[in-house]
Amino acid sequence: MHNTTNIILQSKPMKILNLYACLGGNRYKWNEVKEDIEVTAVELDPELARLYQERFPNDTVIIADAHQYLLDHYQEFDFIWSSPPCPTHSRARYWSVGANGKNPVYPDMKLYQEIILMQHHFKGKYVIENVIAYYEPMFNPKKRGRHLYWTNFNLPNKISRKFSMQGSNSNKEFQRLSKFHDYDFRKYKGEQSKTKIARNLVDYEAGRTIFETVLGIVNNNNVNQINIFDAV
């Protein structure tokens, strides 16, 4: 008679790369969706990196060029979120040309370099997020609210809350942004504008919804999805 040994297979934690991490607006609710995750966050601003680590003590935080880090390490992860710098693509920058002596600038093509890399070489799931561009963007992004998303899976039609930056002075806007993001931006002691950081931070509900979608945890109100393990 043969002895039978029951083998319990334990799944490995999901390895996530969070690029241009800022204060982790996108990452804020991920542990409510899935506990066993290992997040590596890459942020160039040391002060933002310090505050991110304070906010997410279990994440690995690396102060480095996120663009280069992606190229060097993308194969190590299951899910990648990238939010490359948006100013050169934004309509606000375009509309400002000619005002206060501002001249046109080249769009930062690192955005599209990352999209091409992910599309052709990455085997997991990815999100690359940016603002709505002043020009016709390449590679057919999905428009949701004030943002564009390049992904290799379907997105729900609604992923984030609405925040209006009109109808209030700068001080009230800053207070409303702090409440909206559930974060006290006065903690930041670096060189960047606190208001700009608050404006650019990803809505945590968008981060949660997209992560739920990646994991196949789809609300009945959402469109049909492709599971993380399905082919695209």
Has residue 29 been placed in a domain? yes
Average pLDDT over residues 49-72: 98
Is 193 a member of any domain?
no
Q: Which of 5-14, 41-50, 130-139 has the lowest mean pLDDT?
A: 5-14
> Using one digit for the tens of pLDDT, what is the confidence trace for 100-136?
778 999 999 999 999 999 999 999 999 999 999 999 9
Alpha helices in 28-156 (DSSP H): 30-33, 46-55, 66-73, 91-95, 110-121
Is 24 domain-assigned?
yes
In a domain, 90, yes or no: yes
Q: Please state, for a pLDDT cut of 70, what percent of the chain lies above it.
A: 87
- Give domain status of residue 186, yes or no: no
State residue 146's pLDDT score. Answer: 87
Give the pLDDT mean for 164-190. Answer: 87
Residue 21 falls inside a structural domain:
yes
DSSP E strand stretches across the chain: 14-19, 37-42, 60-62, 79-82, 125-131, 142-144, 147-151
The pLDDT tens digits for 152-167 are 999 999 998 887 665 5
pLDDT of residue 168: 58
Residue 156 lies in a domain: yes
How high is the mean pLDDT of the chain? 89
Q: Is the pLDDT of residue 9 over 90?
A: no
What's residue 167's pLDDT? Answer: 52
Residue 227: pLDDT above 70?
no
**What's the domain count of the chain?**
1
Domain membership flag for residue 231: no
Q: Which amino acid is at 65?
A: D
| pLDDT over 50 at 232, yes or no | no
Residue 67 is part of a domain; what is its CATH number?
Answer: 3.40.50.150
Band of the pLDDT at 195, cuts 50, 70, 90? very high
Q: Name the one residue in this structure whose structure tokens are 């906010």.
A: 55
Residue 152's nearest CA partner among 213, 212, 110, 200 is 213
Whole-angstrom Cα distance, residue 15 to residue 76?
8
Domain that holds residue 144: 14-161+204-214
